[in-house]
Copies of this chain bind each other. A is one copy, B any other.
Amino acid sequence: MDKNHNKKLKRRATLFDVAKLSGVSTGTISRILNNHHSVSEESRKKVEEAIKKLNYVPLSAARSLAKGVSNTIMLSIIEENPILPSTWRYELPVVQGIYDYLKKTSYNLQIGISFVEEAQKSKFFENLIKDKYIDGLLILGSWPINYRSLLYLEDRSIPYVLIGCKSTVPTRVEINFDNHGAIVQVIDYLVQLGHTKFALIGGFADQLHMVDRANGFRDALTKRNLRIYENLIKFGDYQIESGYQLMLGLFNEYPKPTAIICGNDFMAAGVIKAIHDKGYKVPEDISVVGFDDNEVAKVISPPLTTIRVPVFEMGSLAVEKLCTMVQSNRKLKEITILPCETIIRSSTGKSKEK
């Protein structure tokens, strides 16, 4: 009662109000709003005036209902549990890239945040969006996506784009960065500095990015005819402490590596600490490479050589593709791999074995 009263008082203007004030029919106004051809300059002017005067704005829900589209894109963020700082740091630039593109359009951005465990259930996307009304879905994650939940989207013809993740089954549109190439490139650089004995101190072994990087690690060495020491390949959990412990462990292995590739900058920080604690120097004795170009890379000592990921671009490229699909009502099928950039600082140098 009170509620309606309130609304009556300053009801938002509707098409009818505009029609009344401008003296043309609602049909014509709607045509103007949707830039249809064939409207006289005269009525357009009258209508535009009335719209301004009434401060009229179409009600999106009514529009959606009539047109059968929602004009909203959903971003489903799938996170590790517990959430790591590196995860956070990776996601927001993507969101930013997405919104940056979207704000030039009339689409709304709706978001959902879930944990990997939930997301791997087969009805995940069904549950996520069944009570929503969306035109397309962006999926941002770092772990394999259950292809069954993707089938629901296929079934409903809901366009979607994977960002930073893939499914066990080849999917349609996917935006990723070149994990494999980045490692190959950094190893090439280290080989030029005379390094031949490499170690890998990675993050979660079965996380998608890490799998690709481990492959890159092996491929780069193989390509150079360098030996792969399996005992120098370790995996942790992307945290500082895990880098520290794994590096301590590495001191018991043979041969001694002269260059360490790390899963991210945090692990690299831990690795460097372990090296220092053992009385060695970076990069004089051992070179260390991080991943992500997190802000810690600049703060630790020595400043970290690392790899920068084009996160922002991934986001905007992904929505762009999604919007194309939504608007053209066509299904694309393409996988985009964006290149990374190696940032050389002071944690890498010539091998002392050279």
Q: Are B99 and A92 in contact (CB under 8 A)?
A: no
| Also in contact, A59 and B133, with CB within 8 A (given A10-B155, A92-B88) | yes
Name A4's closest neighbour in chain B (CB-CB): B68
Q: Is the CB of A57 within 8 A of B10?
A: no
Q: Is the CB of B299 within 8 A of A240?
A: yes
**CB under 8 Å from chain B, chain A span 137-166:** 155-157
A108 at the interface (CB under 8 A from B): yes
This protein's copies in its complex: 2
Q: Known interface pairs A61-B61, A65-B62. Does A111 touch B111 (Cβ–Cβ under 8 Å)?
A: yes
Contact (Cβ within 8 A) A110 B108: yes
A336 in contact (CB, < 8 A) = no
> In the complex, are the beta carbons of B109 and A96 less than 8 A apart?
no
Q: How far is the CA of A92 from the CA of B83 in the complex (A)?
A: 11
Question: Which A48-77 residues sit within 8 Å CB-CB of chain B?
Answer: 57-62, 64-65, 68, 70, 72
Are B266 and A299 neighbours in the complex by a CB distance under 8 Å? yes
Q: Is A296 an interface residue (CB 8 A)?
A: yes
> Nearest residue in B to A96 (C-beta to C-beta)?
B113
Q: Is A29 an interface residue (CB 8 A)?
A: no
From A130, A131, A266, name the one whose CB has the most chain B CB atoms within 10 angstroms: A131
A35 interface residue (CB < 8 Å to B)? no
CB within 8 A of A112: which of B65, B99, B296, B299? Answer: B99
- Looking at A12, A85, A96, A108, which has the most chain B CB atoms within 10 Å of its CB? A108
| B301 lies within 8 A of A68 (CB) | no
Residues of B within 8 A of A109 (CB): 110-112
Contacts of A91 in B (CB 8 A): 92
Interface size in chain A (residues, C-beta < 8 A): 54
- Per the bound structure, the CA–CA distance linking A301 and B296 in Å amounts to 12
> Contact partner of A70 among B61, B83, B295, CB < 8 A?
B61
- Residue A269 lies at the interface, judged by CB distance under 8 Å to chain B: yes
Contact for A156 among B10, B83, B110, CB less than 8 A = B10
Tell me, rounded to whole Å, the shortest Cβ–Cβ distance linking A144 to chain B. 23
28 inter-chain pairs at a CB distance below 8 angstroms, sorted by A residue, are A2-B329, A6-B329, A57-B130, A58-B131, A60-B132, A60-B133, A61-B64, A62-B65, A65-B65, A88-B93, A91-B92, A95-B111, A95-B113, A96-B113, A100-B113, A103-B113, A106-B131, A108-B110, A108-B132, A109-B112, A110-B110, A111-B111, A240-B295, A266-B295, A296-B296, A296-B299, A300-B300, A301-B301
**Chain A interface (Cβ within 8 Å of chain B)?**
2-3, 6-7, 10, 12, 57-62, 64-65, 68, 70, 72, 83, 85, 88-89, 91-93, 95-96, 99-100, 103, 106, 108-113, 130-133, 155-157, 240, 266, 269, 294-296, 298-301, 329
